[in-house]
Structure 1
Amino acid sequence: MYDIIGDIHGHADELLQLLEKLGYDNSKGYYSHPERKAVFVGDFIDRGPKIRETLKIVKGMVDNESALATMGNHEYNALCYHTLGPDGIHLRKHTNYSTLQVKATLDQFAMFEKEWRDYMNWFRKLPVYLDLGELRVVHACWDPENVKEIPEDLEFTDEFLNELHTDEHYKKSPLYKAIDECLKGREVRIPNGYSFKDKYGKERYEMRVKWYRDTGKVRYRDYYMEDIPDLSGDKVDQNYLEKKYFYGADEKPVFCGHYWFSGTPEIEEKNVACVDYSIGKEEKLVAYRWDGEKELSNKKFVWISGNGNKN
């Protein structure tokens, strides 16, 4: 059975406490459980105080088959930040915004450049999603059309990243969109005249959405990831949706991270759970203990608070 663990963002102390709370121990030189396997949803790096230690724990578990892991958008962004395009400019431009996002990671690896390169080479081979038979794991968004576009043996080499970001054919391809949505979530245009500011204060005109909600039945407050008060009670305007697919109730359980939820962990739907509860903001590092159930339960969440309290 599996323990699905949310975005860690360099909070190694809380990760160790959570693993121990879940019954994992380090007796073999890496953390393992006699009957279970951990599944990490990505975003190991950036923001937190112990990014090197976090990567050592996670990679050690994956290398020794006591855990699985998917790529997060922060690992992907780090690769693009370090990859030069044919014009000599990095694929992820070194703007104040992108540099601030990766600053903690670069600072903590400043004296360990080879180690950082080794971890980035490991990132290249992380899967974008995991289909484990009776459950699915993806960092941000599961859509079967996207999943079928992504080769199982995909490796994020410099050559592939350059093709993806600089070749007009690839930039407009279903593969580009598939990777983007799996790692960063589905975004839709906000109706004209509206916008919101993200956590960095950047003005946004597209909104991440709850891709598991039927837009024909919900209002914006139940569909948008961020609240826009003037739209909250309105029905979702179908004219702003490129795709109307949502993850239906008859699908296998799926787990994601990415969304910086707060409060007491709760399932999103009977077969959908997010395990990112904002440890990057000192809130909670969360796991869901999955034992084969098709209908998920709030009782299966386990977490450690950012201050280390086990509550």
Structure 2
Amino acid sequence: MSAEAFRKYLTLEKQYASHTVRAYLTDLEEFSEFACAGAGDMKLEELPYPIIRNWIIHLMESGLGNRSVNRKIASLKAYYKFQLREGRIEASPLAGHKPLKTPRRVEVPFSESEMRGLLEDWDPEGGYEAMRDKMVVELLYTTGMRRAELIGLKLSDLDLAEGVLRVTGKRDKERILPLLPGVGRELEAYIRLRETEFPEAEEPYLFLSPRGNKMYENLVYRIINKYLSKVSAKSKKSPHILRHTFATHLLNQGADMNSVKELLGHTSLASTQVYTHNSIAELKRIHGTSHPRNKKK
């Protein structure tokens, strides 16, 4: 198994995020250990599908859910696709594999009133961290950017005079996002506070940890969970739910799906359509209360 060559393929050619590359390599290593125990010295490139099927059964018997099993198999698919491209195999053992069925996961966005209550009731005297946390929530909710895009934001990505910012998304694709005027003014105040808090900071990133370093993934999750817990009892509180909320609220207010697609940085409408089930519910409500055929005579 050429793990290093596979890593370079995922990183340089596929341009996957570092955490995705780590997950793929971990899955591949786990499968390799399982296969070695049952297939001896046989190379991964030579393994037949029944060995993979046995691994799937092993994962399910260990308590792993179908969605998690499918994710691990996706890692193997990527590996065999790489080997096929390199000419080391003639066919992938997973060519005929069908993913395990998974229930549709419905993510419930936060309501407009919940978001309004959260963002309008913020302690203005909370200092740098409170202001930073508010801007984290504001940007995730008002731009729909991804967590990784937020963490990677640099001061140079902001053009407050024009009211826009530049984000670098998946595959290093850049897009320009508009800023609401109020958010732009708050960002100006935040940057002044950041310069006061960290006058000698060399980090170019917009959001910093308490020690003046680049913000990290778990910190963003803790911020979102902490503040959304104040206004909602929903169990799912994550940066992605704010992205989901952003898209749903725009669609509910009549935004064109193609425009939402561009704002989210999706490559196809199919990716954007997963956010429409709540807007459809809202349209049904409006339709039911507004159509003359539903009026009491």
Q: Structure with the greater relative contact order (CA < 8 A, sep ≥ 6): 1 or 2?
A: 1
TM-score range, shorter chain: under 0.3
TM-score by length of 2: 0.24
TM-score by length of 1: 0.24
The structure in which a higher percent of residues are strand is 1
